[in-house]
Amino acid sequence: MISIKAITATFLGGLMLTGFTAKAERTEYTFYPRRISTMFDSVGGINDEITFTLPDASKKSVIVKADKRVSIADSYQFDPGSISISYEIRSNYVDEVQAGACTFTLTKEDLKETNQGVRLNFNRIGDAKKNPPPWFDCSVQISHPSL
């Protein structure tokens, strides 16, 4: 006769072993892709086409609008570590370009989380109609994919 305790222990032992294996594989190998988007608080005085250079050296140009989230990449696979996304913003009035980079860090733990996005927020700090750059500063927000 088989006891209920023996069946329970065997069943739970199998679950624990399976859970451990799956967790070990996920921890070591699975990094989820992220949506990358941008948002400008103002676009007055600048050319609304902004060029971004992603960490893999690919370039993406997007048309930005004030206070609207714009997708740069819907599914981008990051590697853990320090990450830099370069940008070029052109003035419509002076023959100047603000070139810079938004830099942030993603750890292995960050990349294991699903349903996250990276948003590059640009806030006006200067007047692109009559002054040289910088016109914007960049901050990075890492959160839910609605970013």
Tell me the CA distances in angstroms from 143 to 66, 72, 126, 147, one per residue in order. 21, 16, 28, 7
DSSP string, 65-119: -BT--EEEEEEE-PPSEEEEEEEEEEBSSSS-EEEEEEEEEE-HHHHHSSS-EEE
Q: Which amino acid does the sequence have at 28?
A: E
User: For 64-88, what is each residue's pLDDT tens digit?
Assistant: 999 999 999 999 999 999 999 999 9
CB count, 10 Å around CB of 33? 14
pTM for the full predicted model: 0.76
Edge-first strand listing for the sheet containing 81-90: 59-63, 49-53, 81-90, 97-106
Closest CA to 72 of 63, 80, 84: 63
pLDDT digits (tens, 9 = 90+) for 102-128: 999 998 888 888 778 999 999 999 999
Percent of the chain with pLDDT over 90: 62
Q: Over the stretch 15-32, which tens digit does the pLDDT of each residue have?
A: 333 333 334 444 454 778
Burial class (CB in 10 A: 0-12, 13-18, 19+), 23: exposed
* Cβ count near 17 (within 10 Å): 10
